[in-house]
Structure 1
């Protein structure tokens, strides 16, 4: 299959929407990462997404909409959901809501009676969905388990020949996937951290929101309510180790020519070996999250690199989402320097 490249112009968006209506798969941009789109109401189209990604069938897919009206036929919109829509949509928040009986394919929900719904901020994608005329599924547009794509080039790397098209709107801005909140639990519960924080959600709802991301992994026979809860995610083929900035100088003593380091500008300015393979995470938490997956992908493709050392960030705001993705990418492996022992 030839994968067509579309720009964010009206005629290209129209052509991409026609492919979606024909039951094909088209990758699309959001402010977080690129997604893999197909008609959420067409089971044969949804099956193509699972096939392209190599995704387990019990891993639910997010339904992505162009406007709020598109969700009404499919899920029960609660008062809590309406509050969050008003405050965070369009944007990087996914809500888990009860489905209306018989209205959402079990392929999309992973067999559950709940569905994950999101309306991204990216306008070309919202126009694409509006022109298609139906919600689309929207998992990240990468091979299942690998680092998420933040550019159209990343999508092409993983999906060329597997999908019908890629809508290109340049690099994403946030760089880590949306926050997922479960509004079907007894207390609203965060199942995946992202740019919308626990504190912001609590203020919006006027009640405490629980962070459920630290719960133990699901058993083999359990179905996750949201992506990223059960299976290996965000991981390159290379070994990844997380280091604390306090261990920066000790780490440098152990770095060899086959080691790469990903760190912020302040640390890289103190890198002793200027020939050391390195990737800048920028000067802020926002830039670090934007650059994380791109750096992991870059070194994963570098045949001279065996191990990638990546800096952790303060556990505040977007740093929680950054550290969550990094922990999954590394399998929880840490560089143990004297300062962290």
Structure 2
């Protein structure tokens, strides 16, 4: 059944044949549509249509220098506009469809609009699962699709979170239920046989290293923007974030991890635990939802318990550090 978000104009349609037809029609008409993926909800538009892509930037209030990811059905579609080196192809064959984005050189004569690449000679490419894959196949074109939220704010993992963030800036949201991964894709770039990790995400660095047989090189702080999600301040709630907290200060909310709480947790304005068992997969899936709920508690600051840096913990901590960065860097 179709729903209309309260006090907003955007329609929310449950994923299915009717939603697929409606989304396809809207995209071919040059509109932007919020769609579910396994990572987070994306705000999709035809990557070959400049006016459509501009609507993404307008809706998100996103800086134009921040590039977007092109979503494709697989390697065959990606090869229409990008060139694969052998190692990038190996990673795509292993992890696609899935939460891995590859930054690849653009082919001459490609149809990707320059707004998508922010003027770079490379393009970020990913093959999603589920509804997104069906929609790309139905439209027959790559879709540019950053997270479906106001730029710099918490990424949405439910359709309602999209409506709450974007309001009537968009007209259609497809509801595929809560996302299963819960953080954005991992972004890597291969140069001269070296794999550069540009953004940690839904595929753990260790898993990529196991397939590639190589160690990933981490991007240095202050590196030039080569891919989405590299702004210093991003994914931010309205409340301040205090990381690796050892105790609770007056008026703070608490974002916990693991079975034990820090000192004074019982005095927190609100408490949500990413994973009581210390499961990083569960924590990643809950991250943005719980940040948003704690932000809605009215706390001026959210204290965050320490989270391990291994596996998906690297992606979780990356998002937390960007959420805690000074807002002047957005």
TM-score by length of 1: 0.87
Residue deviations 1:267-320 (CA, integer Å, cap 9, x gap): 2598662774111212311111111111211122233x1111112211110111
Query: Structure 1 stretch 133-142 or stretch 261-270: which is displaced more?
Result: 261-270
Asked if 1:293 is matched to 2:288, the reply is yes
Q: Is the 8 A contact 1:145 1:231 kept in 2?
A: no
Residue deviations 1:226-282 (CA, integer Å, cap 9, x gap): 1121352011111110125xx2xxx14xx32x2110103512598662774111212
Residue correspondence of structure 1 range 1-341 to structure 2 within 5 A: 2-103=9-110, 104-121=112-129, 123-184=130-191, 187-212=194-219, 215-218=220-223, 222=224, 224-244=225-245, 247=246, 251-252=247-248, 255-256=249-250, 258-264=251-257, 266-268=259-261, 273=266, 276-282=269-275, 283=277, 284-303=279-298, 305-331=299-325
Q: Is the 8 A contact 1:19 1:164 kept in 2?
A: no
SS of 2:70's equivalent in the other structure is: strand
Structure 1 stretches of at least 4 aligned residues deviating more than 6 Å after TM superposition? none
Q: Is the 8 A contact 1:34 1:151 kept in 2?
A: yes
Q: Is the 8 A contact 2:252 2:268 kept in 1?
A: no
Alpha-carbon distance change, 199 to 238 in structure 1, aligned in 2, over 3 angstroms? same
Query: Structure 1 stretch 75-84 or stretch 259-268: which is displaced more?
Result: 259-268
| Structure 1 segments unaligned to the other structure (5+ residues) | 334-341
| Structure 2 segments unaligned to the other structure (5+ residues) | 1-7
* CA positional deviation for 1:206: 2.8
State the number of aligned residues.
Answer: 317
Q: Is the 8 A contact 1:66 1:129 kept in 2?
A: yes
SS of 2:254's equivalent in the other structure is: strand
Q: How large is the Cα RMSD of the aligned pairs?
A: 2.1
Alpha-carbon distance change, 144 to 65 in structure 1, aligned in 2, over 3 angstroms? same
